Structure 1
Amino acid sequence: MTPITLTSGYRIRLAEPDDVPHILRFIQELAEYEKLAHEVTATEARLRETLFGEHRYAEVLLAENDNDGPVGMALFFYNYSTFLAKPGIHLEDLYVQPDQRGAGLGKALITCLARIAVERDCGRLEWQVLDWNEPAREFYRSLGASLMDGWLTKRVTGESLQAMADQFEATR
Structure 2
Amino acid sequence: MSRIREARLADCPRILDLIHELAVYEKEPDAVKNTVADLEEHLFGEDPKVFTHVAEDESGQLVGIAMWFPTYSTWEGRHGIHLEDLYVQESERGKGTGTALLRTLAQICVARGYRRLEWAVLDWNAPAIAFYDSIHSSTMDGWSTRRLDGPALEEMAR
TM interval, shorter chain, is over 0.9
| 2:28 paired residue among 10, 30, 36 | 36
Aligned residue for 1:170? Answer: none
| 2:105 paired residue among 113, 126, 139 | 113
Distance (whole Å) between structure 1 residues aligned to residue 144 and residue 53 of structure 2: 27
Aligned residue for 1:147? Answer: 139
* Deviation by residue 1:46-94 (Cα, 9 ceiling, x = unmatched): 1111111112121101110241521101110011100001011000111
TM-score of the aligned structures, taking structure 2 as reference length:
0.96
Q: Highest CA radius of gyration, 1 or 2?
A: 1
Runs of 4+ in 1 over 6 A off after TM superposition: none
- Which structure is richer in relative contact order (CA contacts within 8 A, separation 6 or more)? 2
For the aligned residue pairs, the C-alpha RMSD in angstroms reads: 1.0
* Deviation by residue 1:116-138 (Cα, 9 ceiling, x = unmatched): 11111111000000000011001
Count of paired positions:
158
Distance (whole Å) between structure 2 residues aligned to residue 73 and residue 118 of structure 1: 20
Identity of aligned residues (%): 50
Q: What letter corresponds to residue 73 of structure 1 in structure 2?
A: I
Distance (whole Å) between structure 1 residues aligned to residue 92 and residue 60 of structure 2: 10
| 2:55 paired residue among 63, 84, 87 | 63
Q: For structure 2, list consecutive stretches of 5 or more residues without a partner in the other structure.
A: none
Q: What letter corresponds to residue 124 of structure 1 in structure 2?
A: R
Aligned residue for 2:75? Answer: 83
Q: For structure 1, list consecutive stretches of 5 or more residues without a partner in the other structure.
A: 1-7, 167-172
Aligned residue for 1:54? Answer: 46
Distance (whole Å) between structure 2 residues aligned to residue 143 and residue 121 of structure 1: 21
